[in-house]
Amino acid sequence: NAGVTQTPKFQVLKTGQSMTLQCAQDMNHEYMSWYRQDPGMGLRLIHYSVGAGITDQGEVPNGYNVSRSTTEDFPLRLLSAAPSQTSVYFCASSYDPYSTSQGPYLTQYFGPGTRLLVL
Amino acid sequence: QQPVQSPQAVILREGEDAVINCSSSKALYSVHWYRQKHGEAPVFLMILLKGGEQKGHEKISASFNEKKQQSSLYLTASQLSYSGTYFCGTDYGDEGGKLIFGQGTELSVKP
């Protein structure tokens, strides 16, 4: 049971380049989220998904796209990278809060993170 | 809206106590607490649900005041292993699956 995995671990991009940050989980969690972490700003929610085919915006969605075609995968796309997107990105998954057989409500299981540097 | 944590940073000696507060401008359904060690991912500590009791785990406990829309994390007789950044995450109950985190409180425990 690998939990939540993210690739790559580290990436350097030039301004204007595009890339996809991969996130996968093998815990059969319905809910998945993307956060970015910047010094002094905490963890800010970018996009989240409550199930395959359903996504919604978080606090800072601009410049990022997501899709959720399977329960396991939730990739984050940067269409045209900007220096302001330099950050550490965390993917997280959690149980469906309405499924009473599973753990605490909305407990987030985080991946190891991806460090992104945009030059 | 992002919840507000205070203090932003705290330095303790081993054995001292600390309190970290988390305040929201919006009514809360649940409050989550996480700890992050340097260079690692955040790890879940505990959750407090609206109408629930104060939670605790060994010497770390938390309370949830629904009327004041705030939660407090209590660290008693701190240990070196308590060092890290603590985040509160808030769920307002109106948008399923969405957890909003505060800016974090950096806790350093010195020998």
Distance from CA of A46 to the nearest CA of B (A): 10
Q: Under an 8 Å CB criterion, which residues of A touch B?
A: 31, 33, 35, 40-45, 48-50, 56, 58-59, 90, 94, 97, 104-113
β B105-110/B100-101 pair status:
unpaired
What Å distances lie between residue B71 and A38, A96, A98, B28, B87, CA to CA? Answer: 23, 24, 24, 10, 11
Which tens digit of pLDDT belongs to each residue from B68-98?
A: 899 999 999 999 999 999 999 998 877 777 8
- The strand order across the sheet containing A19-25 reads A4-7, A19-25, A76-78, A64-66
Give residue A96's pLDDT band: very low, low, confident or very high (50, 70, 90): low
Nearest CA in chain A to B101: A43
Which residues, 6 or more positions from B106, have their beta carbon under 8 angstroms from its beta carbon? B8, B9, B10, B84, B85
What's the token pair of residue A80?
């045209």
Which tens digit of pLDDT belongs to each residue from B40-65?
A: 999 999 888 876 666 666 689 998 88
Would you call B44 and A48 a contact, using CB atoms and an 8 Å cutoff? Answer: no
Of A37-51, A59-73, B23-37, B81-95, which has the strongest mean pLDDT? A59-73
Chain B contacts of A40, Cβ < 8 Å? 103
Three-class SS state of B12: strand
